[in-house]
């Protein structure tokens, strides 16, 4: 799930590029573990910074147009380039496993139920 350019531009400018982990919620659905990439994706030679969320869950349907709420909990590693698509995929799988391990820690698990993910219907936060 990629954030729009407008949302990416609203991220703090001093946030380090790299791979993060945390919690994500689509619409008013359940909260799931996620891995987040912030940066230029050097393997794909992107010229614009992107913020891409990999929700660790299989959805039955696409969720284009839904609100994606995330809480970034921690940092896994810096952004880097890869020699092959296979090496990139392998790193992504390792990032996912690392995120799963860290998010199972009690201090991170409790944030899954934070009120941030359970706002009253129609409530707008920070103009979003």
Contact 57, 127 (CB under 8 A): no
Q: Length of the chain, please?
A: 128
- Would you give the end-to-end CA distance of the chain in angstroms? 17
Active-site entry in 9, 52, 66, 107: 52
Q: Do 76 and 92 touch, CB atoms closer than 8 A?
A: no
- Token digits for 15? 């946030």
Identify whether 5 is a catalytic site residue: no
By annotation, the residues acting in catalysis are: 52
């Amino acid at each position: 799930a990629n954030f729009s350019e407008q949302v990416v531009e609203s991220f703090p400018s001093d946030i380090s590029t790299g791979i993060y982990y945390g919690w994500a919620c689509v619409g008013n659905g359940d909260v799931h573990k996620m891995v987040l990439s912030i940066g230029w994706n050097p393997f794909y030679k992107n010229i614009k910074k992107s913020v891409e969320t990999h929700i660790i869950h299989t959805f039955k349907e696409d969720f284009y147009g839904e609100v994606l709420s995330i809480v970034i909990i921690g940092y896994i590693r810096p952004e880097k380039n890869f020699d092959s698509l296979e090496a990139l995929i392998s790193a992504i799988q390792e990032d996912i496993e690392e995120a799963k391990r860290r998010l199972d820690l009690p201090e991170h698990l409790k944030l899954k139920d934070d009120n941030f993910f359970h706002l009253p219907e129609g409530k707008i936060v920070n103009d979003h």
